[in-house]
Amino acid sequence: MSVTVVDNGPGQVSRSVEVDAPAAEVFALIADPRRHHEFDGSGTVGANIDAPAELVAGARFSTKMRMAGVPYRITSTVTALNPGRLIEWRHPFGHHWRWEVEEIAPGRSRVTETFDFRDTGALKDRFDYYERTGFARRNAAGIEETLRRLHDRFSA
């Protein structure tokens, strides 16, 4: 198993992995915000405290988080949805998290997670906020661990 770096251009950190599961099964897990804590590799995602049973474009969900030992709560908004293939949501700070699932063979799928910090606001864009603060690098490591966990979950 190996996590692959995906070059989507500047302002995006993307990684992918192949898993032994149909795309629909993988997507069902990823598209349920109440289950994100089950496979989060960043160590920041806690239980969702307010989430609809099924996400649609424009839906909002709130998540308990913890970073550097400090608890907080965020509410994200779904910005794109192609059922079974793609889901994306906007973090209140302006960046997006995107998941893409592609069935590459019967019972085998490629999963790509992207941290997209393009167009997050003039101040953040101008001062390379995400690189200077280390968020881009830390999120890359979190994505890699998340994808390893997904791989292990579906290979068990």
Which stretch of DSSP H or E encloses residue 81? strand 70-82
CB atoms within 10 A of CB 59: 15
68 closest CA partner among 23, 117, 133, 113: 133
50-91 residue pLDDT tens: 888 788 999 999 888 888 889 989 899 999 999 999 999 999
Task: Assign 126 a pLDDT band (cuts: 50, 70, 90).
Answer: low
Both tokens of residue 94? 């302006």
Q: How far is CA 55 from CA 86, 88, 95, in A?
A: 12, 10, 19
- Domain boundaries, position 70: 4-155
- Statement: residue 156 has pLDDT above 70: no
Give the model confidence (pLDDT) of 92-122 as tens digits: 888 999 999 999 999 999 999 999 998 887 7
The DSSP code sequence of 112-138 is: EEEEE-TTS-HHHHHTTHHHHTSHHHH
Q: How confident is the model at residue 127 (pLDDT cuts 50, 70, 90)?
A: low
d(CA 98, CA 83): 13
Q: For the chain, how many structural domains are there in total?
A: 1
Reported confidence tier of residue 123, pLDDT bands at 50, 70, 90: low
* Percentage, residues of the chain above pLDDT 90: 61
CATH code of 58's domain: 3.30.530.20
What are the Cα distances from residue 1, in Å, to 18, 19, 48, 117, 149? 8, 9, 29, 27, 11
